[in-house]
Amino acid sequence: MTTTVHAYASPSADGDLAPTTIERRDVGPHDVLIEIKYAGICHSDIHTVRGDWGPQPYPLVPGHEIAGVVAEVGSEVTRHSVGDRVGVGCMVNSCGECKNCTAGDEQYCLKGMVGTYGATDRDGTVTQGGYSTHVVVTEDFVLGIPEGIGLDAAAPLLCAGITTYSPLHRWGAGPGKKVAVVGLGGLGHMAVKIAHAMGAEVTVLSQSLKKQEDGLRLGADHYYATSDEATFTELAGSFDLIINTVSAAIDVSAFLGLLTVGGAMVNVGAPAEPLPVNAMALIGGRRSFAGSMIGGIPETQEMLDFCAEHNIGAEIEVIPADKINDAYERVLASDVRYRFVIDTSTLG
User: Which spans of this chain sit near ligand NAP (rule: CB under 6 A)?
Assistant: 42-44, 47, 159-160, 163, 183-188, 206-207, 211, 245-248, 250, 268-271, 292-294, 331, 334, 336
For 213, the 3-state DSSP assignment is helix
Give least dist CB 316 to Zn ion, A.
Answer: 14
Indicate the residue among 44 and 301 with the shorter CB distance to Zn ion: 44
Task: Find the shortest distance in angstroms from Cβ 337 to ligand NAP.
Answer: 9
Looking at the DSSP bridge assignments, the partners of residue 72 are 33
Kindly tell me which residue out of 10, 20, 44, 166 binds Zn ion, with binding defined by CB under 5 A.
44
- Which residue number has the CB closest to ligand NAP? 185
334 binds, among ligand NAP, Zn ion, none (CB under 5 to 8 A by kind): ligand NAP
CA angle (242 as vertex; 238, 247 as ends), nearest 5: 140
Q: Which C-beta is closer to Zn ion: that of 42 or that of 145?
A: 42
Element at 25 (helix H, strand E) = strand 18-25
Least separation in angstroms between CB 48 and ligand NAP:
8
Among 70, 91, 142, 159, binds Zn ion (CB under 5 A): 159
3-class DSSP state for residue 59? coil
* Residue ranges with strand state E in 127-221: 134-138, 143-144, 178-182, 201-206
Report the partner that residue 186 touches, choosing among ligand NAP, Zn ion, none (CB closer than 5 to 8 A by kind).
ligand NAP
| Min CB(339)–ligand NAP separation in Å | 7
Is 61 a binding residue for Zn ion by CB under 5 A? The answer is: no
Q: Which long-range contacts (CB under 8 A, 24 or more apart) does 212-220 make?
A: 214/184, 214/189, 214/315, 214/337, 214/338, 215/184, 218/189, 218/192, 218/193, 218/315, 218/338, 219/192, 219/193, 219/195, 220/181, 220/192, 220/196
Would you say 47 and 1 are in contact if contact means Cβ atoms under 8 Å apart?
no
> Which partner from the list ligand NAP, Zn ion, none does 187 bind, CB cut-off 5 to 8 Å by kind?
ligand NAP
Nearest residue (CB) to ligand NAP, 128 versus 226: 226
Chain contacts with Zn ion (rule: CB under 5 A): 42, 44, 159
